[in-house]
Structure 1
Amino acid sequence: MNNLVSLPRVALGLMFAATCGATLAATPEEKIASAMSAAPPSVSATATIMDWPAEEGADMTELRKGDNGWTCLPDMPATSGNDPMCLDATWMAWAHAWMNKLPLTNTSMGFGYMLQGGTPESNTDPYATEPTDSNEWISETLPHLMILVPDNAMLEDLPTDHTNGGPWVMWKDTPYVHIMAPMPAYQP
C-alpha cells in the first residue's frame, strides 16, 4: 500500500473525521509546502504528496507524484495542532488499520515523521478524543519520529512516560503500539 487513496470510502477514523467536510483554504502549493515540512528534505523532496479528502466518502487527492516510497500529508485543517506527516509504507499500512479499527501485525520496521509536532491526544487510548482521568492526555505534542517494530516484545523494557524527556512507547497493549521519539523542530 503506497498511499491512502486505496482506503475504503468509509468514515476515516477519528483522526480524519475532523477534516471531513472542512473547507480547505490552502492552495495546492501551500499544502505541498506544509506536507514537506513534516520530514527532512532527504525524505520529503521526492515523496508523494497527498491531500486530505474534502468531504466524507471522498478519496485523497495526489498533489505531487513521488518516487521514494514515502507519502507526506499536509496539516489537517480541522485539528488544533500543526500536524503534517510523512509516512513510509509500513506506517501507511498502520494508518489504514488504525483508521478502520482493523487488526495489525507489523512485519518490518516503520518510520513516520511529524517534525511540526501534532495535535493533543491520549498516550494510552488510540481513539480518545478528549482528556480523561485515565488516558494520559498529551496536551503539547512536540516534533517527533514515530517508529514501528516487527515484534512488540522489543518494546517491553521501554518507558511509557511521555514526560521522561526521551523516547517512549505510545498506545502500549493495543495493536497500534509504537515508539515516539522527540526530535528538534524543523524549520523549512
Structure 2
Amino acid sequence: MSTPGLAYGPLGDTCVHLCVDMQRLFAPPSPWATPWITRVLPLIESLVERRARQTIFTRFLPAQKPGQGVGAWKRYYERWASMTMDNLDPEMIDLLPPLARHCPPAAVIDKHIYSPWLEGRLRAFLSERHVDTLVVTGGETDVCVLATVLGAIDLGYRVVLVTDALCSSSDTTHDALLTVYHQRFAQQVETVEMETILSSWT
C-alpha cells in the first residue's frame, strides 16, 4: 500500500519516534546552542503529544571532567572543558521542558558519543519491542542525527527523516545532508515533513 510522501507504505505498530538530543545543552544560551532548536520544537512536540508511548528520546551526556575520553575525545573535552559534567549545571543535560513532561510514558536513553548504537541500550530496547521503523527528529542534522541515521541504515531499520523537525548550527551542512539523504540513500531513507507523519501514522 502506498502512502503519499512515504515511499514504502504507512507507519504502523512496529514504528517508533526517535528524537535525538533535544536538550537544554543545545538550546540558548549554551555555548553548544543550535540556533533554530526552538523553531523545530513545536513540531516535535506535536508528534510526541500524539505518540508519547512510541517516543524514545536520546540524550548526549558529556564527559565527567576536562580531558576525559578515548583518543580524539580526550582532545575534544580539553577544548570544551566548560561543557563537562563537573563544570555544568546538572539540569543542562535535561530534555527541553515541553518534551520532558511526556516522560514517562516516553522513554529516555542516554549516550556518551554521537551514535546511540555503539553502547547497545537503544538496539536492545527496540529489539524487545520488535521495532523495525524509526521516525527521526532532533539535532543536529549533520552530527548526532547523522550518526543515528547511518547506524540505523547499517542495522536494517526503515528510516523516515522528518525534514522540518531537524535542526543544525549550520544551514550549509544541514542542506548538504538533506541532499545526501535524498540522492544517495533513497532506498533506505524516506524524507518527509511532519504533516505527512501526523496524517499517515495510524
**Is this a same-fold pair by TM over 0.5?**
no
Bigger fraction of residues in helix: 2
Decide which structure has the larger Cα Rg and report it.
2
TM-score bracket relative to the smaller structure: 0.3 to 0.5
> Greater relative contact order: 1 or 2 (C-alpha under 8 angstroms, separation 6 or more)?
2
TM-score normalized by the length of structure 1? 0.32
TM-score normalized by the length of structure 2? 0.31
